[in-house]
C-alpha cells in the first residue's frame, strides 16, 4: 500500500465529508507519477537526435509536470478543500494530461520513453475525470 493511501487512512479529519477515498488516492498517486514521468520524458526528449520534432512534446511535458505536481500537493491537503479551487485545478490538469498524452502517444512508436509518459498522462487524465464526476 502506498504512503498516499496509508496517509489517507490515518488522517484525523473525516475524509468521507470530502470525497471517496479510493478515487482520491488514485488522483494523488497518478498525478505524482505523471509529474515524475513528464520531467523524465523532457530529459529523454532532449537527448534525441531529431530535436525539432520533440519541441511540442517538451513544452507540454513541462506544463503537465508542474500542474500534476501541484494537484498532488493540493489534494493531499484534504482537510478543508474549496471546490471553487479544486474543480478548476482538476480541469486544468485533465486538459493538460489529455493534450500532453496525445503528443507523447504520437512519438511512442519511435521513442519508448514517450510511450511510458503517454500512459502516465492517460492514467492521470482518467483519475482527474473520475474525481471531477464524484465531486459534482
Using CB under 8 A as the binding rule, whether residue 17 contacts its own copies is answered as no
- Nearest Cα to Cα of residue 127 among 93, 78, 89: 93
Among 19, 26, 27, 96, the residue binding its own copies under the rule CB under 8 A is 96
Among 19, 26, 27, 44, the residue binding its own copies under the rule CB under 8 A is 44
Task: Give just the sign of the alpha carbon dihedral 25, 77, 84, 102.
Answer: negative
And the C-alpha cell for 122? 492517460
Using CB under 8 A as the binding rule, whether residue 135 contacts its own copies is answered as no
Alpha-carbon torsion, ordered 25, 126, 91, 18, to 10 deg = -30
Using CB under 8 A as the binding rule, whether residue 134 contacts its own copies is answered as no
Contact of 69 with 103, CB cutoff 8 Å: no
Using CB under 8 A as the binding rule, whether residue 22 contacts its own copies is answered as no
Among 23, 99, 102, 130, the residue binding its own copies under the rule CB under 8 A is 99
Using CB under 8 A as the binding rule, whether residue 25 contacts its own copies is answered as no
- Nearest Cα to Cα of residue 124 among 59, 27, 58: 27
> Quick one: the chain helix, strand, coil %, rounded to 5?
80, 0, 20
Using CB under 8 A as the binding rule, whether residue 132 contacts its own copies is answered as no
Residues that bind its own copies (CB under 8 A): 2-4, 6-8, 10-13, 28, 32-37, 39-44, 46-48, 51-52, 55-56, 58-59, 62-63, 65-67, 69-70, 72-74, 76-80, 82, 84-86, 88-89, 91-92, 95-96, 99, 111-113, 115-117, 119-120
Amino acid at each position: 500500500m502506498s504512503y498516499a493511501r496509508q496517509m489517507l487512512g490515518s488522517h484525523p479529519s473525516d475524509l468521507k465529508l470530502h470525497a471517496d477515498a479510493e478515487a482520491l488516492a488514485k488522483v494523488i498517486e497518478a498525478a505524482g507519477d505523471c509529474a515524475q514521468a513528464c520531467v523524465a520524458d523532457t530529459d529523454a526528449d532532449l537527448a534525441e537526435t531529431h530535436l525539432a520534432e520533440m519541441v511540442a512534446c517538451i513544452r507540454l511535458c513541462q506544463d503537465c509536470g508542474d500542474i500534476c505536481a501541484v494537484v498532488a500537493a493540493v489534494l493531499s491537503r484534504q482537510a478543508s478543500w474549496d471546490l471553487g479551487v479544486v474543480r478548476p485545478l482538476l480541469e486544468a490538469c485533465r486538459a493538460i494530461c489529455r493534450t500532453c498524452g496525445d503528443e507523447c502517444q504520437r512519438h511512442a512508436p519511435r521513442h519508448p520513453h514517450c510511450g511510458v509518459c503517454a500512459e502516465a498522462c492517460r492514467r492521470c487524465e482518467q483519475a482527474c475525470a473520475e474525481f471531477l464526476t464524484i465531486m459534482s
